[in-house]
Amino acid sequence: MRVLVAMSGGVDSSVSAVLLKKAGYEVIGLTMKTWSYEGEALQSRRTTGCCNLDDINDARSVAVAFDFPHYVLDLRQEFGEAVVEHFIQEYLAGRTPNPCILCNTYIKWDALLQKADLLSCEKIATGHYAQIRYERGRFFIAKAADLTKDQSYVLWGLSQEVMARTLFPLGTYLKQEVRQLAANWGLSRVAHKKDSYEICFVPGGDYRTFIKEKAPEVKNLRGGAIIDVAGRQVGTHEGYPFYTIGQRRGLPALGKPYYVVEIRPETNTLVIGEEEHLRKKTLYMRQLVWHKYPALPYEGYPAVVKIRHMDAGHEARLFLEGNGLRVEFWEGVRAITPGQAAVAYEGADMIVGGWIA
């Protein structure tokens, strides 16, 4: 069986490709170039993603060592339109985006499947730490064996058709096992390569500078009101796109800790409050993608819901709310952030994912 493997140049995707090769698959490697620092004002700063020449060469070196073809696919235009522009517009709308989920759902998998069809590949594969299971006629994402590296949260947008053709070779491996395999196979260029945890197109994670350069009109938002939960103005801000729910830095000193609890872009206003005001018991999800079940089994269905990638999860019940879901937590959850994703699990199995409205 022929499989197209997305290769970022890191240890995870490299080991995934070799595992499939050793398992008897006919492997083709593909590196997707999604961003370029040439001509960017930020290019002098440290790059962080999977888009530089060194990463492409690292992926190619693995393909050469294990004798399978490797291609590079230029997706900079598609990535810019679907991910970078959305990233900027979400901040301007007072939300905090998650570009990795958008990239997975609308860029990487679409591109992989199109290229797979052109190359007559039946399957595609990536180096994500997650598993795909099949029960009662449905595919669904499940957590990886290595819960410290589990990436299931960012994969909720994958459809049934996509999951039917996708392989996650690392789903049952621990990270240290993956690095050891790379070392055993002589993949010295990637075996001890550091993982990237930052947004690939925002060097150093400095999204504020990125937005200022890409959307210079944000300078007009400086000086908007900061009010407390009682409606009293207590200061002014630098521009609401530069703040997120739960943020403490950059707020006026008022004698005790205050946090951003609400962003009102329509009036260019930040609302701040104390820790207790950050905790909410209700969350609304939209643009749902169902996994283990085709619909909610019953009203009040129990689940553990994650509201960000590194979140441990919170016990809740799920209720239908129009075309979305209402999530009722047992206890108040800190800093629920519009624009991020919420993903509901039953044990290790994903039930449903969607955007936090």
Annotated active-site positions, please?
A: 103, 200
Taking alpha carbons only, the member of 183, 223, 355 closest to residue 285 is: 355
- Placement of tokens 């990125």 in the chain: 210
Taking alpha carbons only, the member of 160, 60, 141 closest to residue 344 is: 141
Q: Phi-psi bin for 53: left (phi > 0), alpha (psi -120 to 50), beta?
A: alpha
Q: CA 273, CA 310: separation in Å to the nearest integer?
A: 24
Contact 346, 292 (CB under 8 A): yes
Tokens read off for 108: 């990487």
Q: What angle do CA 236, 90, 232 make, to 5 degrees?
A: 25
Instruction: List b or e across 152-177, with b for residues whose CB sees 16 or more CB atoms inside 10 angstroms.
Output: bbbbbbbeeebbebbbbbbbebbbee
Tokens read off for 143: 């957590």
